[in-house]
Structure 1
Amino acid sequence: MTSFEDMGAVLVAGGSGFLGSNLVARLARDGVGPIRATWRSRQPHDPPAGVEWVQADLRDAAVCERVVQGIDTVFLCAAHTSGAAVITGSPLSHVTPNVLINTLLLEAAHNAGVKRVVFLSTGSVYPDTKGVPVKEEDAFSAPPFDTYFAVGWMKRYTETLCRTYAEKIPKAPMSTVVIRPANVYGPGDKFGWKTSHVTAAQIRKVFERQNPIEVWGTGKDVRDVIFVDDFIEGVVRAARVAKPYLEVNIASGTGITVLDILHKAMEIEGHEAEVYCDPTKPSTVPILLFETGRAQTELGFTAKTSLAEGMERTFAWLRATPQSVWDR
């Protein structure tokens, strides 16, 4: 692989998850490859043809070494994730498995001569900027939100490893890209009550036509939400940037309250319901917005899908997909 424009042989670690499955589908449509994708406990649903699927527990160093053989570009999408209740009640559940996956796969990739690793990080690395949209350089300027203390530092540690492999190993550097996503939603998302993030949770409540509808927290928390196809477009563009190291926000660049997300879903589905907020239930942070100038300048990327269109496509996917696939 002489240019990052040509990804060569690709590994999507975590290829059956929400982001990984959408990425695999996009790369296959683009004719990238060959493509290898891993899954651990959840088999891929409706996978594209021509992809090599490998069941793999990436917490095992030997398994990581095996799956990166012959690979040029790795997309590190594998992660143990969940919703607000788990983040606040059992924060270490996000730490140990992810530290193992990230460190072992990065080491295996470097030892195997992989040219580039694209790491899907998180917006939880950012500190509280008091409602000002976060820039990439803000990430290490102060501690993460206390709610995100464990997961934020875990992701910061992996980001530091990515930079180390790219810039601090003079004889054999490995190019890396760090993606910091906003709240991604869309087809393939997790809609289980214990695992869903904020947008998926509101969509499911409306899809099931609940009445009344309960919103955790005050409903006034502000989030940047981005449709999955837009997000994957940003990831693919970032993977092709000709820089040894890049960190970039992939977001819509706009904010919306949780209540407004819910009301938009109700409007689209034509569902009228009583809505009440329970401030005693877990929520995460009051406001997290993203500055998107670097994505626009470096990647030529701007999110294109409106919330209404994204939700319509998500509701259509839910109607066409067995509940066993999305209720997880």
Structure 2
Amino acid sequence: MSRSLLRSVLVCAGGALLLGVLIWQAVRVGGAPDPTARGISPMTAMMDTAVLVYREGLECILVLSAIVAGLVRTKRTYWRPIASGAGLAIGATLITWFVLVGILNLISGTTSELNIQAATGLLAIVVLLIIMNWFFHKIYWTGWISLHNRRKKELINTMESSRADSARSLAYRGLILLGFTSVYREGFEVDLFLQNIRLQVGSTRVVLAAAIALVLVAVTGYFTFVAHQRLPYKKMLVFTGIMLGAVLEIMVGEQVNEMQLAGWLPVHTFPLHIPDWMGIWFSLFNNWETVIAQVLAAVLVIGSFYAARRDTRKPRAASPAVSAY
């Protein structure tokens, strides 16, 4: 069997697995997986956990795809350090998992399991609140992407213009760090969430679920980067922008909901039923706080798009006058 045929078979199998899992959870639990629900089978709990981890992994895929969007057709040699950094982040996430498990095992001898579950759940909320504070300081989530992209351009320019080995080595390490930070932030957050689930469904199921989720994330990442290569460059950028806008809306709704659970924000509901699966996948909830926050986020993104478009048109409009002068 040739290598290309083997790759095609694996990609088709991965795509079928991804589609099957999504259809299964949509039919089985209505798109709202809950691995801690009572009366479900061990397999269902494991698959529900895998879907939740996959849901978080999608954000990593979009961050990486946005960072390497400009390298899709050119400068492919710079993919390696970014990919290496992402791989190191996955390894660091695994190490963090075992560190957290060890810490919780030490604490378990002095307190009850319910107290540990409450503490880990609260810790996850605190981390989300910290991220939310950082989020607001960055104005909107795509600012994080822009920051990474600016840093990426600076590092690549350093590698191309500098003849000194030390400068090129420093820029290379910077690209590795770029890929690392893009993935580890989400990985650390997932580790915290999974500790609470692990105490209720067991370590074995959570580890197997995380392995399944990594396969699904890898398949999604493959199709995402293939789309980047096949689409015309302008359409590829539009495609990435749309995905980032969707993730922004989800992230805002998710963080506001977590702040409400922590008691930082009030909850004012409105008389409209929103299915649970929309809350899980799109962070849509029937309260005014999340809706207003998501609308404001959309206004910021759309407004920034038109502001950038206006700024790019100003030099073009001024250039004829300068030449005429």
TM range (shorter): under 0.3
TM-score by length of 2: 0.25
Question: Whose relative contact order is higher, 1 or 2, with alpha carbons under 8 Å and at least 6 apart?
Answer: 2
TM-score by length of 1: 0.25
Q: Pick the structure with greater CA Rg.
A: 2
